[in-house]
Structure 1
C-alpha cells in the first residue's frame, strides 16, 4: 500500500494543475474500504480568502494582504499535525508551507517582501516534512484553459503572463527543494483525476519510486 510507505503526502503545483482534485482522488482510492488506514485530508481553502479575487484584478494593491491571509490560514491548519488525534494518521495535503514565500517573491515589492519574510521567519512552526511531494506540472496555456473551464469568477482575471511567471517560480523552487522526495508529474498528457487508467499509472509510479527525485512524463 502507498500509505504504508508514505504517511504524509503533499500534492503541489500552480493554480490549475489539479492538486486539490488529485488529493481528494488519492484519499478516496487509498482510504475507501479500509477504515483502519483512513487518514486526514489537509486542503487549502482559497474560497475563504477575502482578498484573493481582488488580488487577481489588482495584484500590486492586494498581494500582501492575500499572502498574509494564506500564510496564517496554512499555519492554523498545520497546527493540527501536532494534535494527539492526528498522531500516526496518514495525511494527504494540497499545500507545502515551505513553498509559501514563492508567491511573496513573485508578487511583492522589496519593502513588503522584507516585511513578509520577517513575519514568516518569526512565526514559521517546526512542522513535520512530508514523506513525499507530488509536484504537478503543466504548460501555462494548459493551466489557463483549465482555469477558464472551471468557471470560478474569482479566477477570471488570471493572466497567461502571471501563469508563466508562476510556473517558472515553481520550477526554480523544486529544482532546489531537497527536504523530501519529489515526484514531478507532467499533467499535460496525463489525467489521473478523471482517468482510472492514468490514476493507476500514477499510483504504480509512486509505489516504484526509489530515488529522492523522479519524473513521470507519459508524453
Structure 2
C-alpha cells in the first residue's frame, strides 16, 4: 500500500463528514481542508425551490470546488497529510439529483474539463447511513438553510451516493456503516473507526460495526 497523503471523507448530507475529517486531521496531525459550501449564495434558495435554483447552485459549487481542489493539490507538495471533508466527484452526484436533461448536458461539458485536472484522493472514507438517521442529524444541527431539505430529496441523493461508491475504483475506499455509531461523542466508537483506518489495505474495505 502506498503512503497516504490525502484522505477524503465522503457521504450524504448530515452523515458527519466534517466531524470525522476534523477528528482525523487532529489524530494524524494533518492539514484540514473543509468544503466552502456556505459561501454559495444560492444554497438557501435552492432548498426552498430546487427546480428554479438548481443550475445556478450547482455551477457555483462546481467552480468553487474546482478552484479549492487546485489549491489543495498545491498544498499537497508541501504537506505530508491532508484530510478533506469532500472529494471533487461529489459535484456530479448532486447534479444528478437536481438538474434537468439540458442543464446536465452543459454541466457535464464543464465538469469533464475540470475533472481532468483533479487528482483523486489516496484514500476515500465513505460514511453510509439510512435516510431517517440523516434527517435526525440535519434537524439536530439546526442549520437554517437546511431546514427545507425533505426526505424524498435526501433519499434520492443517498441512493446515488451508494450506487457510485459501490463501483468506485479510483482510490482505496473504506465504506463505513455509520447507522449505529457515534464517533463524535463515543470514544469506543471512534477508536473502532481509527483502528480500521490505520490498518493498511488496498482496494475496497467494508466496516460494519456491531450493533
User: TM over 0.5, yes or no?
Assistant: yes
Q: How does 1:71-150 map to 2 (within 5 A)?
A: 71-83=62-74, 86-150=77-141
The equivalent residue for 1:29 is: 27
The equivalent residue for 1:157 is: 148
Unaligned runs of 5+ in 2: none
The equivalent residue for 2:184 is: 193
Counterpart Cα distance in 2 of 1:137 and 1:209: 21
Q: Contact 1:12 / 1:136 at 8 angstroms: preserved in 2?
A: yes
Does the residue aligned with 2:174 lie in a helix, a strand or coil? Answer: strand
Tell me: CA distance 1:82–1:186, structure 2 relative to 1, closer, same or farther (3 Å): closer
How high is the TM-score relative to the length of structure 1?
Answer: 0.90
The answer to whether residue 211 in structure 2 is matched with residue 206 in structure 1 is no
Does the residue aligned with 1:12 lie in a helix, a strand or coil? Answer: strand
The equivalent residue for 1:35 is: none
1:85 CA drift (Å): 7.3
The equivalent residue for 2:37 is: 46
Q: Contact 1:11 / 1:134 at 8 angstroms: preserved in 2?
A: yes
Tell me: CA distance 1:114–1:88, structure 2 relative to 1, closer, same or farther (3 Å): same
Tell me: CA distance 1:125–1:40, structure 2 relative to 1, closer, same or farther (3 Å): farther
More helix by share: 1
Counterpart Cα distance in 2 of 1:18 and 1:8: 18
Q: Contact 1:140 / 1:164 at 8 angstroms: preserved in 2?
A: yes
Q: Select the residue among 17, 20, 30 that pairs with 1:19.
A: 17
Unaligned runs of 5+ in 1: 32-38
Counterpart Cα distance in 1 of 2:199 and 2:74: 32
The equivalent residue for 2:54 is: 63
Structure 1 vs Structure 2 CA RMSD: 1.6
Counterpart Cα distance in 1 of 2:57 and 2:99: 11
Does the residue aligned with 1:97 lie in a helix, a strand or coil? Answer: coil
How high is the TM-score relative to the length of structure 2?
Answer: 0.93
Counterpart Cα distance in 2 of 1:169 and 1:84: 30
What is the aligned residue count? 209
1:89 CA drift (Å): 2.6
1:66-95 per-residue CA deviation (whole Å, 9 max, x = no partner) reads 111111111111111343674343110111
